[in-house]
Amino acid sequence: MIPRTSDSDITAILNTFQSHDTFYILGHEEPDADCLGSQRVLGSWLSRRGKKVHLCSAGPWKRPEIADWEKLFCSRIPEPEAGENPLLVILDCSAPDRTGFPDSALPKADSCVIDHHAAGSDFGDIRLVDSLSPSTTLLIQKLIEAAGDEPTKEEAEILFLGFCTDTGFFRHVEPGRSEPLEAVARLVEAGASPSETFRLLAGGRSMGSRKLLGRVLERAEPYFGGRLVLSWETWRDWKELGSERDSDILYQMLLSISGVEAAAVIREQNDGTCAIGLRSITSLDVSDIARFFGGGGHKKAAGCTTSGDLQDVTEHLLQIFADRLD
């Protein structure tokens, strides 16, 4: 069954928020603007309602568009004080270990999960999970609006940035439902700027990151009659170019090759593991492939980490793709 939110889920969450006074708001490790933006806006709105809020992120902080936000987050979860009635809120995470914090670091408290991933485990005492929501920020906006409030200008800007991050600036918005677009129109009305948000998401890159993109594109090879394109990078590339590459533009270029249905990029790391990034532009479900390696994600964008060197992992991945594309 596809997890969808209902009005009763939203009411249940708002009631839960009302009955707590202190909020520990967590997102996923290697955070993006959807996760952090959801944390920030939920925190800001709860503070406006007189609640005490701790924003926590395990990092690492890799993306330039959110680099300025690190100072707003604790890298360790503070201990709840005596007499507090805390609620642990986990945003944009499909499984509890995605927070990047060990179980022992989490406060002993009721937990609330708000997420939009299709796959994942059924954790948390109370859940608001909608796999048809293009972003978690949209679910936060829904909560604020359902409570009869409106996002401030700053909250609207952040919510809009989160939506644009997870939709690749509207490129992944599915047909048939105008509700998400109506919701983001209200954010623009409240002061969010599409042109500034695009500049923030597309800019701020280093020369090394562009060279790394060139290197990965150069290594790309077609498989299964060109239906899959696969490339790779190593930690030595990263060391040499001193740079993070942004995934979005890389996958955009790989998937724009005529006849390509899916793209895979394997990153060999310096600890005997490889990280695999997967994207699809057809009905091929790459989250299903990521799950073979213990990962997850969305149907069209998924990832995982697995042990083995570049060659072993490539062979294993191609075998799994062969069942679907051969």
Interacting residues with Mn ion (CB under 5 A): 34, 92, 136, 166
Residue 113 in tokens: 């999960």
Tokens encoding 210 = 């562009």
Which residue lies nearest Mn ion, judged by its C-beta? 34
CB of 200 to Mn ion, least distance (A): 17
Q: Least distance from C-beta 232 to Mn ion, angstroms?
A: 26
| CB closer to Mn ion out of 20 and 98 | 98
CA distance 221 to 13: 47
Q: How far is the CB of 134 from Mn ion (least distance, A)?
A: 9
**What's the residue count for the chain?**
326
Nearer residue to Mn ion within complex by CB, 161 or 254? 161
d(CA 59, CA 93): 14
DSSP 81: P
> Given the complex with Mn ion, which of 86 and 134 has the nearer CB atom?
134
How many Cα atoms occupy the beta-carbon half-sphere of 257 within 13 Å?
21
- What's the rounded Cα separation, in Å, for the pair 11 and 85? 20
Nearer to Mn ion, 34 or 157 (CB): 34
Closer CB to Mn ion, 93 or 262, in the complex: 93
| Residue 159 CB, nearest approach to Mn ion (Å) | 12
Task: Rank residues 274 and 301 by Cβ distance to Mn ion and give the closer one.
Answer: 301
Q: Toward Mn ion, which CB reaches closer, 86 or 124? A: 124
Q: How far is the CB of 166 from Mn ion (least distance, A)?
A: 5
229-257 exposure pattern, b = at least 16 Cβ within 10 A, e = fewer: bbbbbbeebbeebebbbbbbebbeebbee
Q: Chain-centre distance of CA 101, in angstroms?
A: 16
Q: Are the C-beta atoms of residues 271 and 287 closer than 8 Å to each other?
A: no
Pairing of strands 110-115, 126-129: parallel
CB of 297 to Mn ion, least distance (A): 10
- Please state the closest distance from residue 27 (CB atom) to Mn ion, in A: 9
3-class secondary structure per residue, 264-297:
EEEEECCCCEEEEEEEECCCCCHHHHHHHCCCEE
